[in-house]
Amino acid sequence: MLELSINGEAHHADVTADVPLLWVLRDVLGMTGTKFGCGIAQCGACTVHLDGQPVRACQLPVGLVGARKITTVEGVGATPAGAAVQKAWLDLDVIQCGYCQSGQIMSAAALIASTPAPSDADIDAAMAGNICRCGTYVRIREGIKKAAAEHHA
Amino acid sequence: MAIRTRTVALLLGAAVVIGGGAVAGRMLFLPGPLDFAGGTRVALADYKGPSPIGVPAKLAHASLIEKGRYLTDAADCRACHTAKGGTPFAGGRPFKLPFGTLYTPNITPDKATGIGNWTDAQFLRAVHQGISADGTRLYPALPYASYALMPDADVLAIKAYLFSLQPVRQANLPNSFTFPYNQRWLMGFWGYFFNKDKRFEPIAERSPEWNRGAYLVEGPAHCGECHTPRTLAQAMNTRQKFAGGAAEGWNAYNITGDRTTGIGAWSKPEIEAYLATGHANGRSVASGPMREAVDLSFSKLTKGDIAAIATYLQTIPPIHSARLGAPAAFAAASHAQGPADNPIGKRVFEQACVSCHAWSGKGALVADAQLTAKKAVSDPTAANVALMVLQGTGPQTAGRPYMPGFARSYSDTEIAAVANYVTARFGTMPSKIAPRDVAKLRAE
Amino acid sequence: MNAVAPTRRQLLRGMAAGGFVLAVGLAGGQLAVAGDDAHAAAFAPDAFIRIGTDGAMTLIMPQVEMGQGIYTTLAMLIAEELDVDLATVTLAEAPPSDALYGNPLFKIQMTGGSTSVRAYFLPMRRAGAAARAMLVQAAAARWRVDPASCTTEAGQVRHAASGRSIGYGAIAGAAARLKPPAEPVLKDPKTFRLVGKPHHRLDTAHKVDGSLKYGIDVMPEGVKFATLAASPVLGGKVAHVDDSQARALPGVRQIVVLDDIVAVVGDHMWAAKQGLDALAITWDDGANAAVSTETLWQGLQAAAAQPGVAATKAAPIDATGEDVVSAQYEIPLLAHAPMEPMNCTVHVKPGACELWVGTQVSTKAQGIAAKALGIPPEAVTVNNHLIGGGFGRRLEVDMVEKAVRVAQKVDGPVKIVWTREEDIQKAMYRSLYGSWMSARLQDGKPVAWEHKVVGPAVIARFLPPAFTGGIDIDAVDGAVETPYVLPDMAVRYVRHEPVGVQTCFWRGVGPNNNVFSTECFVDLLANKAGTDPLDYRRSLTDPKGRARHVLDLAAEKAGWGTPLPARSGRGICLQFAFGSYLATIAEVAVADDGTVRVQRLVTAVDCGVTVNPDGVIAQIQGGHVFGLSAVLHQQITLEKGRVQQSNFHDYRVLRIDEMPQIEVHLVASAEAPGGIGEPGTVSVQPAVANAVYAATGVQLTRMPIDPALIARKA
């Protein structure tokens, strides 16, 4: 039985260590906000934070998580950076279908938490691993700048 | 692993040269595989202690076929004698050479298309001397110079295993060589000088484990075929034993005791982990032909045999590779620090690579994905990095994280750029691989 | 109360609606009318509006939300006429019913073809206006005043003279007893409060915190998880399965082997996937084992030799004269690759079935499930969910059929999720198409024009009644009507169904091919005429027309004609499709090795009346990105009948660091509304190709762009 700290709460999962964190979250714990997109860390839909760092849950064996604290999109609103990103996303109507946005928001929140005024190059470096098929990139970029400005105001 | 493409190509050319007879003695008379170790060579029958040949103790009482299966794995016959997606041992794997393509033959016991009619003597002659059942000379793509170390009993155990397989009716594909490369008889000259056709002899002063390792490394596992550079005559240059060679476009790196460019700094458990699983934490991940060798051969060997191989490898005299950088420390955690002159490479890296490898090169998810300290990133040819990007790498074991190949989605320019970005960011000897080089690697 | 799919609950905004109201729209397709029973909404004047006595309001959405913002738009249209505060309204997905929720343009319940606003602009307003009239009448009767003296605002009827007001809930029961007006009076557009002004989206509050449940997120009690493999070659069958290793894996519960599908059921998706990977499946490839990209192109080109069917009256050009210019243009096979992989959750019960899925065609989903199980459609409950990307892929129900057939062998509910590899390799695809173009020029201008379209008739399969006279109206869309004044236009259609792949609609549909070929051809003609592409297009358009207006606007905003560096260029696409006019100008830089970097896109749009202008801009932005992925990166190829791409590492999608600057300029218009989901995908492709033509002098005739053809010669 693995113990995981997710969004500040302890959760237990009876799975083998090789199961990717993504499926433990979604199918075992029923936390479906984290999305499956590719399974090979190429689309970013499954991004969660481990101790604040963005990681792709689809390629992370749950046994490697250890004591690190997991934050998912369900809990990121409790962090100042996450809340700022969520607000900017709604203010600018960034979202279309929304399926990739769990991952976009997690990547963006990690970026603005560590970078007060992200440049375009910072945004490219942090966000190029997150694919959006609806093509919301224009507004993701605007949203990050807005959220960062409000978060670090 | 058998000798691969480029070396075979050159080797054939070299055979022609030798046929002309204008070659220096130094090139023709090379040290034997164990000469570096000194000591007293003894015949197998006279060796005191557990036999270094054959199968591990736990298989001592297994059937001949079971023993043969183990030795077939140790000799990694399957890698070359299986086409991509094809039936194991039915042959058909192509080796592309500039003057044509060589296809490995069917070695299932089918009487019409395989080796079902071969006698023991014919099989031994092929494996030891590179002469086919019908008397034609085989190209040394079949590593008979190494296999010659294997005693008859081991070779015949392999034959017994192969003959236990389901025969597969699959005609051999003709090689498309042109004159003079199609003159197989010329291989006789090559064999005369470079295949001593002598069975393994242990060294009395060395431990049984060392001798077992020596047998496996030099004989069935034929490590030197890729890891030892070649002479102009395309023989293994045993004066530069294990200092680094090539296979199918990949650089097979230095596995001597050199601490910066070889494996001298690796602990024995690290070498063992690498061979058994294809990954030694912070050291290396097996890719390309070596990944095949791990998946199809080393991972099937007993712990004892893996330990023996490691013991033996740790005694190989260090040779420094001037064309390989020392391992680097982790790179900066921020994208903003690092190579600034390669925007295309950086863009590909941030799109396709950073999710797993991280800007620091530490690996974002699993230890296998660490980039720093890997020989490939300090290799100024960047060939292995480019090949990994093209073909992907990582465990073929279902369920373990692996790296997909990007050949279909990124151009030669982009792959060259990202390879150069990776060596500049994570290595100590920057590369300048060009798009045309990537185009060539793409064809491998 | 019937089980209410959580998706609808999540759409609850502001004031909580009574659960019974929600249940109305979901109870097996039976829509309550006023006074039906205690569980019905008090006031349900039509299929779309439900008002409870507590004032709780639910709007039933006949078009599915898949990112295009249609929930917001349709709700705005109703609310405009009904005068309600959208913050207090619940939006619910319509249950399957062609009769009640059939798209007026297709007669079936379908979201696609950029038709939602075109089809529902008036029906939604009429629904709102009729309901409002009934509520006003009810209030006026209670107050004994003239209904004309009452006004409405934010869910209340007011009577200014007496200072009275009453909430809609309080009079819902009374309103329900009234007869809806036959011809409800619509607002004068000048008095619109909502329509035409940017409105925040109504579907996204639950998308920012992960609480919205897409189809892939449902968790019915006791659900198991499965993944599947269909034959890698279309039409192939399972020959043999060795499951000895798979059975031994932890978490693997069941292996389902059908004629043409193998599925593994497990404790979670990972167990199922591990199980599937561990199966040794031998396939009998069948008739399509030799299909390749080569054979597909050859088939298309061979078909082009046929005369085809005339889609316009003009006679074909005698293509022999010196004054005749000819060219052919081709677009490749493409996958949709929506971010939410294909999935469907199914619970097969004796004589019944329940589905949880995100589909653009819920009655078709219901129908295919019923057919697979041999039960009547009414026995299939469809819980439709918001969609994580459709782009046409979810206009198809192949995934529903496969899932139902697997679920039939499973006890209890099972969620079947496609791996991305399965999603891309065993899909239905946007077909390859070709256009064979000819024009006779006089003084550089076309005096005769021929456009022969070669491609499949998706319509014939998808909507058979619409396939008449051998013409696929979608396949020739954008060819028979262009923004230009062209004399003697001969458009012909050759139906060619590619062998070995299944084809379907893809964002941009028919105009992707026809606008691409027309616009590239116009550039070629301009080049022959030695005329600037903008001037050439101006000379072919009505100076007072909407096309000219968007063309001039885009040219002005893009700075057409201002100097650019070497190997950079601008290209135009002018199009009329889906009832909307677009002009897109792309600016590209071509590197020495042929790599194309798109730097800027300027698009002017006249889509008639806009309901939510910000939504229009979002659709153009997104459509451009979708089209850029295609034109720069994408192509599905086959070898030995098998699709060679498998996931995002080899089926490349445009990423944020490749984005050009995008500017969208809307033209204020009172014309009938046009569609907007597809046009941006269409226009960007020829605009980029023409920009590459301008930058390099090489006109590329087959997409995607092949850098080798435009690399600087060494």
pLDDT in tens, C78-94: 999 999 999 989 999 99
Inter-chain CB proximity C209 and A73 less than 8 Å? yes
Is the minimum CB–CB distance between C420 and chain B shorter than 8 Å?
no
**Is the CB of residue C207 less than 8 Å away from at least one CB of chain A?**
yes
- C650·B405 Cβ contact <8 A: yes
Q: How high is the mean pLDDT of chain B?
A: 91
Q: Quick check: C288 pLDDT over 90?
A: yes
Average pLDDT, stretch C208-223?
A: 97
Q: C272: helix, coil or strand?
A: helix
Picking from A25, A97, A138, A139 by the largest number of C CB atoms within 10 A of its own CB, the best residue to mutate is A97
C85, two tokens: 């505060």
Same fold flag, C6-191 and C295-318+430-710: yes
Check B350 against A56: CB less than 8 A apart.
Answer: no
Which of A19, A23, A40, A62 is the mutation pick for testing B, counting most B CBs within 10 A? A40
**Structural tokens at position C35:** 């006074």
Q: Name chain B contacts of A129, Cβ cutoff 8 Å.
A: 350-351, 354-355
Nearest-CA distance C506 → chain B (Å): 21
pLDDT (0 to 100) of residue B99? 65
The pLDDT value recorded for residue B5 is: 54
Give the pLDDT score at C42. 86
Most B-contacting residue of C650, C651, C706, C709 (CB-CB within 10 A), to test interface: C650
Confidence of residue B10 (pLDDT cuts 50, 70, 90): low
Q: What is the mean pLDDT of chain C?
A: 92
Going along chain A from its start, the domains and CATH numbers come out as: 2-71 (3.10.20.30), 77-151 (1.10.150.120)
Break chain C into its structural domains and give their ranges. Answer: 6-191, 215-286+342-417, 295-318+430-710
The model's confidence at residue B177, banded by pLDDT at 50, 70 and 90, is confident
Under DSSP, is residue A77 helix (H, G, I), strand (E, B) or coil? helix
Please give the structure tokens belonging to residue A43: 């689309």
Would B217 be classed as within a structural domain?
no
B92 in any annotated domain:
yes
The beta-carbon neighbor of A137 closest among C250, C338, C656 is C656
The partner residue sitting opposite C204, judged by closest CB among A23, A95, A102, is: A95
Question: Which of A22, A23, A42 best tests the B interface by mutation, with the highest count of B CBs <10 A?
Answer: A42
- Residues in B closer than 8 angstroms to A124, CB to CB, are 347, 350
Q: Is C671 on the interface with B (CB under 8 A)?
A: no
Q: Compute the half-sphere exposure of residue B144: CA atoms within 13 Å on the CB side of its CA.
A: 25
Provide CB contacts within 8 A for C408, sequence distance 6+. C348, C372, C373
Q: Is some CB atom of chain A closer than 8 A to the CB atom of C567?
A: no
- At how many degrees (to 10) do helices A120-127 and A137-151 cross? 110
Average confidence (pLDDT) over B390-403? 81
Residue B267 is assigned to a structural domain of this protein? no
Looking at chain C, the whole-number percentage of residues with pLDDT higher than 90 is: 92
Q: Does C60 touch chain A (CB under 8 A)?
A: no
The whole domain housing B394 covers 343-442
| Cα A148 from Cα C289, distance rounded (Å) | 54
Query: By C-alpha distance, which of C232, C508, C230 is closest to C342?
Result: C230
C193: left (phi over 0), alpha (psi -120 to 50) or beta: alpha
In a domain, B359, yes or no: yes
**What was the pLDDT predicted at C318?**
75
Distance between CA atoms of B223 and C674, rounded to whole angstroms? 69
In chain B, residues with a C-beta closer than 8 Å to the C-beta of A55 are: 364-365
- Reported as type and span, the H/E element at residue C246 is helix C244-247
Please state, in angstroms and rounded to a whole number, the distance separating the CA atoms of residues A73 and A7.
9
Coil, strand or helix at C210: coil
Question: Domains in chain B: how many in total?
Answer: 2
Which residues in B have their CB inside 8 Å of a CB on A? 335-336, 347, 350-352, 354-356, 359, 364-366, 399-402, 404
The answer as to whether B294 is a domain residue is: no
- Determine the pLDDT at residue C67: 96
**Does the pLDDT at position C35 exceed 70?**
no
Q: Is C69 on the interface with A (CB under 8 A)?
A: yes
Pairwise CA distance, residues B443 & B440, whole Å: 5
Residues of chain A scoring pLDDT < 70: none
CB–CB contact B350 A129 (8 Å): yes
pLDDT of C6 reads 31
Subunits with 3+ C-beta pairs closer than 8 A to A: B, C
* C213 token code pair: 């449940």
- The Cα–Cα gap between B382 and C171 comes to 77
What residues are paired with C383 via a beta bridge? C356
Q: Is residue B137 part of a domain?
A: yes
pLDDT above 70 (res C19): no
Tell me which chain C residues have a C-beta less than 8 angstroms from the C-beta of A130: 655-656
Distances (CA, A) of B387 to B93, B247, B384: 19, 12, 5
C554-600 pLDDT, tens digit per residue, is 999 999 999 999 999 999 999 999 999 999 999 999 999 999 999 99
In angstroms, the CA C496 to CA A3 distance is 58
Determine the Cα–Cα distance for residues A4 and A69; give it in Å rounded to an integer: 8
Partner B contacted by C274 (CB < 8 A): yes
Q: What is the pLDDT of residues C120-174, one digit of tens each?
A: 999 999 999 999 999 999 999 999 999 999 999 999 999 999 999 999 999 999 9
Measuring CA to CA, how many Å separate C605 from each of B134, B234, C200, C594, C618?
77, 68, 21, 31, 12
Lowest mean pLDDT among B231-245, B417-431, C249-263: B231-245
Q: What is the tens place of the pLDDT at every residue in C326-366?
A: 999 999 999 999 999 999 999 999 999 999 999 999 999 99
| Residues A40, B404: C-beta atoms closer than 8 Å | yes
Picking from C58, C55, C124, the residue whose alpha carbon sits closest to that of residue C91 is C58
Of B135, B152, B178, the residue that ends a domain is B178
- pLDDT computed for residue B193 by the predictor: 76
Between CA B424 and CA B433 the distance in angstroms is: 12
State the complex-level ipTM. Answer: 0.98
Strand pairing category for C224-230 and C164-167: unpaired
| pLDDT band of C602, cuts 50, 70, 90 | very high
- Confidence category of residue B4, pLDDT binned at 50, 70, 90: low
In a domain, B74, yes or no: yes
- Which pLDDT score is estimated for C319? 67
Please report, in angstroms and rounded to a whole number, the separation of the first and last CA atoms in chain A: 43
Q: Is C707 on the interface with B (CB under 8 A)?
A: yes
Contact flag C339-A99 (C-beta cutoff 8 Å): yes
Rounded to a whole number of angstroms, the distance from the CA of C123 to the nearest CA of chain A is 24
Q: Is C714 exposed, middle or buried (0-12, 13-18, 19+ CB in 10 A)?
A: exposed
Q: Which residues of C346-358 are buried (b: 16+ CB within 10 A; e: fewer)?
A: bbbeeebbbbbbb
The answer to whether the beta carbons of residues C455 and C432 sit under 8 Å apart is yes
Mark yes or no for CB contact C651/B409 under 8 Å: yes
Burial of C189 (0-12, 13-18, 19+ CB in 10 A): exposed
The distance of B347 to chain C (nearest Cα, Å) reads 7
- Identify whether the C-beta of residue A49 lies closer than 8 Å to the C-beta of residue A5: no
CB contact under 8 A, C655 and A128: yes
pLDDT for B185 equals 75
State the pLDDT at residue B183. 76
Could you report the per-residue pLDDT of B147-175, keeping only the tens digit for each?
999 999 999 999 999 999 999 999 999 88
Chain A positions touching chain B (beta carbons under 8 Å): 18, 40-42, 44, 53, 55-56, 59-61, 64, 121-122, 124-126, 128-129
From chain C, pick out residues whose CB is under 8 angstroms from the CB of A42.
647-649
pLDDT of C34 higher than 60: no
Instruction: Report the percentage of chain B scoring pLDDT > 70.
Output: 93
pLDDT of residue C15: 26
Residues of B in contact with A116 (CB under 8 A): none
Distance CA C686, CA C437 (A): 15
Residue B245 is assigned to a structural domain of this protein = no
Q: If we measure between CA atoms, which residue out of C470, C484, C498, C434 comes closest to residue C637?
A: C498
- Chain B residue numbers with beta carbons less than 8 Å from the beta carbon of A122 are 335-336
Q: Which residues of A touch B335 (CB under 8 A)?
A: 121-122, 125-126
Give the number of A-B residue pairs with CB atoms closer than 8 Å. 51
Q: Largest alpha-carbon pair distance within chain B?
A: 66
Residue A152 main-chain phi, psi, to 5 deg:
-100, 10
Nearest chain C Cα to B409, which residue?
A: C650
Spatial contact of B74 and B53, defined as CB atoms under 8 Å apart: no
pLDDT in tens, B228-257: 998 887 789 999 999 999 988 999 999 999
Q: Does domain C215-286+342-417 have CATH number 3.20.20.70?
A: no
User: How confident is the model over B297-321, as a mean pLDDT?
Assistant: 98
The domain boundary, picked from B134, B159, B178, lies at: B178
Element (H, E) at C269: helix C269-278
Q: Which residue of C has its CA nearest to A16?
A: C250
- Per-residue pLDDT, averaged over B22-36, amounts to 77
Task: Look up tokens 């001593």; give the residue.
Answer: B196
Residue C381 has pLDDT above 50, yes or no: yes
CATH code for residues C295-318+430-710: 3.30.365.10
**C711 to chain B, closest Cα gap in Å:** 11
Contact between B405 and C649 using a beta-carbon 8 Å cutoff: yes
User: How many of the other CB atoms lie within 10 Å of CB of A3?
Assistant: 11
Cβ-based burial of B218 (10 A; exposed 0-12, middle 13-18, buried ≥19): buried
What one-character DSSP code corresponds to residue B325?
Answer: P
Closest-approach residue (CA) in chain B for A119: B336
Sheet holding C150-153, edge to edge: C150-153, C156-159, C164-167
Q: Residue B374's pLDDT is what?
A: 93
pLDDT score recorded for residue C488: 82
Residue type for C316, please?
A: P
B19 band by pLDDT with thresholds 50, 70 and 90: low
Strands C445-455 and C596-606, by their bridges, are unpaired
Last residue of a domain, one of B152, B178, B204: B178
CATH code at C6-191: 3.30.365.10
Q: Which string of DSSP letters, residue by residue, matches B238-267?
A: GGGTTS-EEETTEEE---SS-TTTSSTTS-
Q: Over 70: is that where the pLDDT of B419 sits?
A: yes
List the C596-606 sheet strands across, edge first: C568-577, C580-590, C596-606, C661-666
**DSSP reduced 3-state for C198:** coil
Q: Are C689 and C631 in contact (CB under 8 A)?
A: yes
Closest CA to B108 of B77, B131, B137: B77
Average pLDDT over every residue of B41-57? 93
Query: Who contacts B325 (Cβ-Cβ below 8 Å, separation ≥6)?
Result: B261, B378, B379, B380, B427, B428, B429
Query: What's the rounded Cα separation, in Å, for the pair C140 and C157?
Result: 9
pLDDT band, residue C57 (cuts 50/70/90): very high
Convert the pLDDT of each residue in C611-663 to its tens digit: 999 999 999 999 999 999 999 999 999 999 999 999 999 999 999 999 999 99
3-state secondary structure of C85: coil
Residues B29, C11: Cα–Cα separation, whole Å:
83
Q: C278 and B414 in contact by Cβ < 8 A?
A: no
Residue whose structure tokens are 């979604």: A26
Q: Give the list of residues 6+ apart from residue C585 with CB closer than 8 angstroms, or none.
A: C554, C555, C558, C560, C570, C571, C572, C573, C601, C602, C603, C687
Are A122 and B350 within 8 A, CB to CB?
no
CA distance A132 to A143: 15
